[in-house]
Amino acid sequence: MKKLLFLSTIALGGLVMGCSSSDDSPKEEENQSQKMKVVVAVLNANGDAINVQQADANTTKDYVMVGNKFQHRVLIEDFTGAWCGWCPRVTFSIEELEKNNGDKIVPVALHNGDKFAFSPHERTLSTALWEKFGIPSNQRGYPFAVLNRSAEWEAASGNAMKTAQALALAKTDSEVGIKIASSLTETSGKINVSFKFADGIAKDLKYVVYVLQDGVVLTQSNYTTNFGGKGNKPDFVHNAIAKALNGDVMGTAIPSDKIVVGQEYTPAEINVSYKNF
């Protein structure tokens, strides 16, 4: 099915937005709920996420055990922009999932064309996933949301996504556990991650580490009936904004000789820097 917005439309929208008067430009304000998080995903040989974990900045999130294995969550990567009028249907569906199933999902918002633009990583990843899913270039556009990097998240209607599709990927447990610790300031910091492995784990694994920010206000275009109805939303709160990444957005390899059942692998400390939104 063709996208509602194609890339040519996106480029034109960016040009128009760039020429807008100050009255039409995005409005920002301080928000009391602003906070940063660290998200770590582990990928298999096909590039699919087999587990993901998140932790608030400046805290330690230890392994979460489920029997002899580890807590499992579904990675949702949302390719979005404040200019994208249909993108709030993804935001709405993520918020609906978080109300009752927040322990089963971890969302990441990869912005383009606005002040949160996650360049060049957003375009690198979206292009790779469009190719992986066999989506022709003339059908590539936004909104575009992906589950575990293994499937495109399908729309239930013009106003929501198929939340059951995301929940169907949630498993009882995972063969890989993730531990996260960080020390982050407004513009830089250090992250430490560790992995443990259980029976059934594969040998060809990669991992991705994101720094995210919640609670930033920026005017959002809205074509849906969500969030009070159609029209620009000047007080729209953006969450899970990707603002930093370690290495390659496609993943950093875990050495195969370090993937040993019952043992822990800790890569070198990660240094990150990023914009202060």
Domain boundaries, the chain: 7-12+31-273
Q: Per-residue confidence at 194, pLDDT binned at 50, 70, 90?
A: very high
Mean pLDDT of 232-253: 97
Average per-residue pLDDT in the chain? 90
Per-residue pLDDT, 1: 43
> Buried b / exposed e across 29-58, counting CB within 10 Å, b at 16+?
eeeeeeebbbbbbbbbeeebbbbbbbbebe
User: What residues contact 81, with CB distance under 8 A and at least 6 apart?
Assistant: 10, 87, 111, 112, 113, 114, 117, 142
Per-residue pLDDT, 14: 39
Question: Does residue 2 register a pLDDT over 90?
Answer: no
Question: Does residue 20 register a pLDDT over 70?
Answer: no
Per-residue pLDDT, 26: 39
Rounded-to-integer distance, Cα 129 and Cα 72, Å: 22
More confident residue, 10 or 222: 222
Strand 205-214, strand 35-43: pairing: antiparallel
Count of residues for the chain? 277
Whether the CB-CB separation of 245 and 213 falls below 8 Å is answered with no
Question: Does residue 68 register a pLDDT over 70?
Answer: yes
Q: Per-residue confidence at 33, pLDDT binned at 50, 70, 90?
A: low
> 16-20, 82-86, 114-118, 189-193: which range is least confident on average?
16-20
Question: Does residue 32 register a pLDDT over 70?
Answer: no
- What pLDDT, in 10s, does the model give residues 74-83? 999 999 999 9
- What pLDDT, in 10s, does the model give residues 119-147? 999 999 999 999 999 999 999 999 999 99
Strand partners of residue 40: 53, 209
- Please report the DSSP string for 51-70 in residue order: EEEEEETTSEE---EETTEE
- Helices and strands, number each (H, E), in the chain: 4, 19
Look up residue 50 and give its two tokens: 């087999």
Q: State the DSSP H helix or E strand holding residue 123, giving kind and residue range, or none if neither.
A: helix 121-132
Q: Per-residue confidence at 34, pLDDT binned at 50, 70, 90?
A: confident
Question: Does residue 12 register a pLDDT over 90?
Answer: no
More confident residue, 59 or 27: 59
Please report, in angstroms and rounded to a whole number, the separation of the first and last CA atoms in the chain.
35
Look up residue 167 and give its two tokens: 């929940």
CA separation, residue 60 to residues 41, 69, 118, 169 (Å): 16, 19, 26, 26
Per-residue pLDDT, 71: 98
Q: What is the pTM of this model?
A: 0.89
Mean pLDDT of 48-56: 98
